[in-house]
Every structure is written in C-alpha cells, then in structure tokens.
Structure 1
Amino acid sequence: MGGCCSRRYFEEEDGTIKYRLIHGRRYHNLSDSMYFVANDDKEAFRLSRYHEAIKEIWGGAFNSPVEKKLRQGAHVVDIGCGTGIWILDMAQQYPNSKFVGIDISPIQPTEGLPPNVEFLQYNVLDGLPYEDSSFDLVHEKFMLVAFTGTQWEEKVIPEMIRLTRPGGWIEMLEADTGASDGTITRRIQKATKGMNLTIGKEIPRILENTNAFSEIRNQHKIVNLGIKYGKSLEESLKFYVRGLSSIKGFMTTSMNVMPEHYDALVETVSIEAEKYSTYFNQYRICAHKKI
C-alpha cells in the first residue's frame, strides 16, 4: 500500500533515468533532492495558473525597490523557477533586463523565448554556474518542501547571497501548509512530517544572522481559501488542493493509503476549506545586500 506501488521510470537514450512515474504523476529522479512535488503538465498548470493570483494578493510580481534598475537594465535570477511564468512576465515588462530561470526539472518552454530570457537546469544545492555578485535581484518562491532547515541555512541562502551584487536585493516568497478545523485537512497536514513547514517565518532570522544585509523587509499575509473571499483566494484554494495532489507519490506512503483513497481525501480538503475557513500564511522577505 502507498508510494511503492505503480512506479515506472523514463530512460534517456544513454540509459540514465530522468523521471519517475508514481500513481500517474511524473517526478524527477534526482537522488540528492528531497523535492517530491510532481513536474508534469498538471503541476505546470497549477504553477502558471496561480501566478496572477499572487500578483493580486501582493500587489505585483515583486516588492523589492528595483523598478528603476529593471527599467535601466538589471540581471535577475529566479531560483526554482518552475514553469518560468514569473520570468516570462518580468521579461516582457522589462525588456532591457536579463532574466535567468533555474530549476531541477526542465519544464520551461524551449521555443519562442524572448531574447532576454534563459532557462537552465541546475540544483541550487550543487551551486550555480555564476561568479560572485552576478545578479541585481535574486528571486525565489514556494520552495518550502524542497530543502531541510540545514540546507536552507548552509547552502541555499548562502548561495543566494553569493550571487547577489553589493547593493542588490534578495526576494523570497514562502508559505506554510495552513490551518484548519477540518478533520481530513488536519490529518493530511499531520502526515507531511519531515517537511520544513515553518521556513517562511524563519527566513528573516537566517538572513539577519548572516550579517550580509543593510535592510530586511518582512511582510506577512494570511491567505484565506475559498470562493467567498474573492477570485484570487478561490485560486489559492485550487492551488492548495492541486498541490496536495502533486505530492501524491509521497503522501500515499506517508499516510499508508491507496492512491484512490488519497484522491478522495484531497477532494474532502476542498469541501472543508469552504466550511471551516482554512487558511495559510504567506511571507514575503526582501533583503538589501550591504555595499
């Protein structure tokens, strides 16, 4: 019962295994990454669909005071870029700037890209192929299930700092898994043991301890889920529920349930969100690197 069943592998021509297929969802096959969110078309739809809702919730695609620099011409990297939707949006708005998207999964478009966009497949834990101080803005969002607390402190954030130019900005948008009085929702949340679900509120402390920044701005929003709160928060509910489906390969094992049982539980989460006003927290942190 659980995630050990219904598993297939996709091989490249050289015999290397690129993907795993578990219970109908596709996942990466990197042994040194704990990131267990799917990287298939359903996940790409989830990430791209939520982009506009994030902009509405936060009043824009970014909060760092870099508008002038972006119009003049900045170098920007998005770590964990997913489908590249944020990069593509920003590149269209700021054609004088150069944008690089980094992700462990090659799920970004490869044709018809703007001339100021590049996508690369790398694992940030291995270090990124850029010199120190290469970027004016280093961006990251929703990677809470990708790294352990130690990896955040010892590898991910130090690499982000290394890449940021003196006077540049780091911007991070993170969330937790929320709170609910729904029985099934709480059961699923409890089963996400092993994830670092509080990283959003821990990031400011980690950044401050590096002594690398002259200013750290920390904003927190409670994001209610459901249609009664408006369009963007209806999309937040869909993003949340689809996210639970996207970690199905992990959760069936963690909860020791059959795939079809887990699907039914996820459907109940959507019902409970409307009934019990489920919410999660989002944290947007902007940090100005010392000159």
Structure 2
Amino acid sequence: MEDETIEYRLINGRRYHNLSNSMYFVANDDEEANRLSRYHDAIKDIWGGLFNSPVEEKLRQGARVIDIGCGSGIWILDMAQQYPNSTFVGIDISPILPSEGCPTNVKFVQHNVLDGLPFANSSFDLVHEKFMTGAFTETQWKEKIIPEMIRLARPDGWVESLECEITSSDESVTMRVTKALHDFMRLKGMNPTIGKEIPHIFENTNAFLEIRDQLKIIDLGTKHDKSAEESLKFYIGGLKSAKGFLANSMNVTPEDYDALLETIYFETEKHSTYCNQYRICAHKKIQI
C-alpha cells in the first residue's frame, strides 16, 4: 500500500500524485508541463481562438478569469498578454506552475479543487477548464467540480469546458490501448466520455440561461494538417505520461508498452483515428 502521507511518488522515472482524493493518473512533472504547452497553439488553430464564450468585450474592458486545472499555465499567460486590463488566476494541483516572470495581472495557485477553491461566490466573469477527463470521477464532476465552477461564476457570467476522447478502428493497436485506458478509468469511477455529457449535467443544474455545445472531429496523424499531427503527439504523450499506471493495468512491461505507443504513431497512416473535442459554453443565470 502506498504511504498517503507522501504527496508524490516516482514510477518509471516519472512523478505522480499520491493524494487519497485525487484520481489523476497522469504524471505531474516538467515533461508533462511541456506536453501541455506544446499543444496550446494547435488548440487555438482548431477552435479559432482561446475561448468560445462571448466575453471578448468584457475582457477588453477588464474582467476576472479563472482557469481550473491550468497545467503549465500557458493558456492563462496567453490570455493575460492579449487582455492586459483583465486579471487571471490559474489553479492546479500539480507543482508545475510558472513561478517567475509572470505578468502583474496573473496569479497562480497550487491547490486541489476537490478541497474547494479559496475564492468567494460570484468572483469571476469567466470560469474555464480543459482536458480534465482523467482527473475526476463522474461523481466528483457532478457533485464537486461543476457546482464549484457555477459557484465561482458571477451572475450573467460564463462557464466554459473543453474535453476530448479518441476513437479508432476495432482492429487497431490504438483501439486496444484506448480501450485499456477507458477500462482503467471506469474501474476508478471515471467517465472517459464525460465531455459529451457535460451539457446534460449543466442542464440538470438549472443554473444557466443558455448552453452552447460544439464538437470538433480531428483526424489524427502526419498525413493531415499540422493540428492533426500535434493532436496525435498530444494523445501519445498523454499515454506516455500515464505509463506508470496503464502498463501495469494492461499487464505488459514498460518496454512493451512503449512499443505499443510507437505502433500507434505509425498506425494512423492506415487506420482512421480521430479525436472528438467538445467545447461547452454556459451562460449563468442572474438569479438561480
């Protein structure tokens, strides 16, 4: 049994969380921070910008924004540069947040959102999160994360979510590894397709005037455009980051696991492999 008094543990040379209330099974080291940062520009290309909520004018005038699970902080830093009149807060459980050279309108806080966030009700004009499918159980999404996002949003403010899932043909190594990932997540109480269900969860809260959901289907691999290639690298990088748990779950050696990921990279040339990305923007009611 792991010693839960130790905040982090090392597996195959990668650092992971060791917190009893955190399901997050991806590494939390510099290599993972770099993976998140490298994909930032591709996300902007895929979606045509940094956000989809209609808050552009408010950001130019001066708004408060929080990014929950901000990772390397690159989204916050990019937003802060484009909207100097607004203030930005990045929250993440991992110790990979920028510590030097941050703009004056940025604050980063290392904190576990499952413990509740240290901000007053209705503190932010935009509450943002992305790529947190592997961080929370379905129950935590419904009972803690989404209610906390709603609590932090100001009346007439916006809550925005971006999540994804991978699909490939049944015969492929990609599908074998993806299925193993999904099976592992479900054993932990996670929902690997939570992204497409978030609009329904939002609806059930009765907290929003309007909910906008959009799907982008991204073909993966080098035979497509740059965003497709970067999306594939991001996906494989995530699987590498999860090796400490997933190789053991699949009952393969770390070396055999690496070989499977190498096959995935080349497999996209002959199999139809794609990523579904779901972006949901919800307009909070003035009174709930």
TM-score normalized with structure 2 length? 0.94
Give the counterpart of 2:252 among 246, 253, 257. Answer: 257
Give the counterpart of 2:209 among 214, 219, 225. Answer: 214
* Cα separation, 2, equivalents of 1:31 and 1:101: 23
Which residue of structure 1 aligns with residue 15 of structure 2? 26
Counterpart residue type for residue 207 of structure 2: A
Is the contact made by 2:64 and 2:123 (CA closer than 8 Å) also made in structure 1? Answer: yes
Which residue of structure 2 aligns with residue 106 of structure 1? 95
Flag structure 2 segments of 5+ consecutive residues without an equivalent: none
* Cα separation, 1, equivalents of 2:228 and 2:18: 33
* Cα separation, 2, equivalents of 1:55 and 1:68: 19
RMSD over aligned Cα atoms: 1.6
Which residue of structure 1 aligns with residue 125 of structure 2? 136
Q: Does structure 1 residue 179 correspond to structure 2 residue 174?
A: no
Q: Does structure 1 residue 280 correspond to structure 2 residue 269?
A: no
Give the counterpart of 2:105 among 103, 108, 116. Answer: 116
Q: How many angstroms does 1:182 deviate by? A: 4.7
Which residue of structure 2 aligns with residue 12 of structure 1? none
* Cα separation, 1, equivalents of 2:169 and 2:238: 16
Is the contact made by 1:98 and 1:116 (CA closer than 8 Å) also made in structure 2? Answer: yes
Q: How many angstroms does 1:34 deviate by? A: 0.4
Which residue of structure 2 aligns with residue 228 of structure 1? 223
Give the counterpart of 2:6 among 7, 11, 17. Answer: 17
List per-residue Cα deviations over 1:14-51 (Å, max 9, x = no partner).
Answer: xx633211012111222210001111122111100000
Counterpart residue type for residue 228 of structure 2: L
Q: Does structure 1 residue 42 correspond to structure 2 residue 16?
A: no
List per-residue Cα deviations over 1:115-162 (Å, max 9, x = no partner).
Answer: 011111111111100110000000000000111111111110000000
What does 1:144-155 correspond to in 2, within 5 Å? 144-155=133-144
Is the contact made by 2:131 and 2:164 (CA closer than 8 Å) also made in structure 1? Answer: yes
**Which has the higher mean CA deviation after the structures are superposed, 187-196 or 66-75?**
187-196
Give the counterpart of 1:246 among 212, 237, 241. Answer: 241
Is the contact made by 2:66 and 2:128 (CA closer than 8 Å) also made in structure 1? Answer: yes
SS at match of 2:269: helix
Which residue of structure 2 aligns with residue 67 of structure 1? 56
Aligned residues: 280
TM-score normalized with structure 1 length? 0.93
Counterpart residue type for residue 71 of structure 1: R
Is the contact made by 1:182 and 1:272 (CA closer than 8 Å) also made in structure 2? Answer: no
* Cα separation, 1, equivalents of 2:43 and 2:169: 21
Q: How many angstroms does 1:277 deviate by? A: 2.4
Is the contact made by 1:175 and 1:200 (CA closer than 8 Å) also made in structure 2? Answer: yes
Q: How many angstroms does 1:179 deviate by? A: 2.6
Q: How many angstroms does 1:61 deviate by? A: 0.5
Is the contact made by 2:65 and 2:124 (CA closer than 8 Å) also made in structure 1? Answer: yes
Q: How many angstroms does 1:104 deviate by? A: 0.4
Counterpart residue type for residue 155 of structure 1: K
Is the contact made by 2:172 and 2:271 (CA closer than 8 Å) also made in structure 1? Answer: no
* Cα separation, 1, equivalents of 2:111 and 2:30: 20
Q: Which contiguous aligned blocks of 4+ residues in structure 1 show a shift greater than 3 angstroms?
A: none
Counterpart residue type for residue 103 of structure 1: D
* Cα separation, 2, equivalents of 1:166 and 1:178: 37
Flag structure 1 segments of 5+ consecutive residues without an equivalent: 10-15
Q: Does structure 1 residue 204 correspond to structure 2 residue 193?
A: no
Give the counterpart of 1:191 among 153, 174, 180. Answer: 180
Is the contact made by 1:178 and 1:278 (CA closer than 8 Å) also made in structure 2? Answer: yes
Is the contact made by 2:92 and 2:112 (CA closer than 8 Å) also made in structure 1? Answer: yes
* Cα separation, 2, equivalents of 1:94 and 1:150: 35
Is the contact made by 1:181 and 1:278 (CA closer than 8 Å) also made in structure 2? Answer: no
Q: How many angstroms does 1:181 deviate by? A: 4.3
Counterpart residue type for residue 227 of structure 2: S
